[in-house]
């Protein structure tokens, strides 16, 4: 629970100044990470939406990444709906990866299968 709410704190920070450097401990926002994978499921929920994707390494091994997005009010304001991302879609997410090394990140920009880029 504590971890989830750290993300709320992150959103509070991110939502106003969108600072390149912020004091939230969990994500590396100053060294963006880009991850491409196949969508397993999309959770269209507050406080945050989440996408879970399978990311394959060069050997073909698959790792599930947890992609945190902004809250629903932000996503709707960017043009999102709950069907914007669907299971099976291959998407590319750019954002900050967890400093812990866990396969988690918060995505700021997401590329859909047809090449459209959306704020996330």
Partner 1 sequence: MIGVAVAIGIALGAAQQAAPPAQPGESPYRIAGRLPVRIMSFDVQPKSIRPGEKVTLTWATENPQSISIDPIGRVAPRGTLTLTPSATTTYTLAVTGASNSADKRMVTVTVQGPTAVSATSASHLPKAVPRTADGHPDLSGVYGYGQAPGGRGGPPPAQPVLKPGAENFKIVRAADDTGQYSSCMPPGIPQSFFVPYYTQIVQAPKSVVIAHEYLNLHRIIPTDGRNHPPDPDPSWMGNAVGRWDGDTLVVDSIGYNDKTEINGYRHTESLHIVERFSRPDFNTLSYEATIQDPNVFAQPWIIRRNFPLLPEYDSLNEFVCENNRDYKPLFGNK
Q: Which chain residues interact with partner 1 by CB under 8 A?
A: 1-9, 11-12, 14-21, 23-27, 29-32, 43, 45-48, 50, 66, 71-74, 76-79, 81, 94-96, 98-104, 107-109, 116-120
**Residue 56: CB minimum distance to partner 1, A:** 19
Q: Which residue, 22 or 38, is less far from partner 1 as judged by CB? A: 22
Find out whether 92 and 36 touch, Cβ atoms under 8 Å. Answer: yes
Find out whether 37 and 90 touch, Cβ atoms under 8 Å. Answer: yes
Find out whether 24 and 11 touch, Cβ atoms under 8 Å. Answer: no
Q: Which residue, 37 or 96, is less far from partner 1 as judged by CB? A: 96
Q: Which residue, 58 or 83, is less far from partner 1 as judged by CB? A: 83
Q: Read off the tokens for 83.
A: 């069907």
- Tell me the C-alpha distance between 51 and 41, whole Å: 6
**Residue 85: CB minimum distance to partner 1, A:** 13
**Residue 31: CB minimum distance to partner 1, A:** 7
Question: Is residue 65 packed enough to be buried (19+ CB in 10 Å), middle (13-18) or exposed (0-12)?
Answer: buried
Q: Which residue, 23 or 58, is less far from partner 1 as judged by CB? A: 23
**Residue 41: CB minimum distance to partner 1, A:** 12
Half-sphere exposure of 114 (CA within 13 A, CB side): 5
């Amino acid at each position: 629970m504590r971890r989830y709410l750290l993300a709320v704190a992150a959103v509070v920070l991110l939502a106003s100044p969108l600072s390149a450097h912020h004091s939230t401990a969990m994500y590396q926002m100053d060294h963006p990470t880009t991850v491409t994978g196949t969508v397993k499921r999309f959770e269209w929920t507050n406080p945050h939406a989440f996408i879970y994707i399978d990311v394959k390494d060069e050997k073909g091994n698959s790792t599930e990444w947890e992609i945190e997005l902004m809250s629903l009010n932000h996503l709707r304001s960017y043009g999102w709906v709950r069907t914007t991302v669907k299971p099976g879609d291959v998407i590319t997410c750019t954002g900050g990866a967890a400093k812990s090394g866990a396969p988690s990140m918060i995505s700021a920009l997401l590329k859909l299968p047809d090449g459209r880029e959306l704020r996330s």
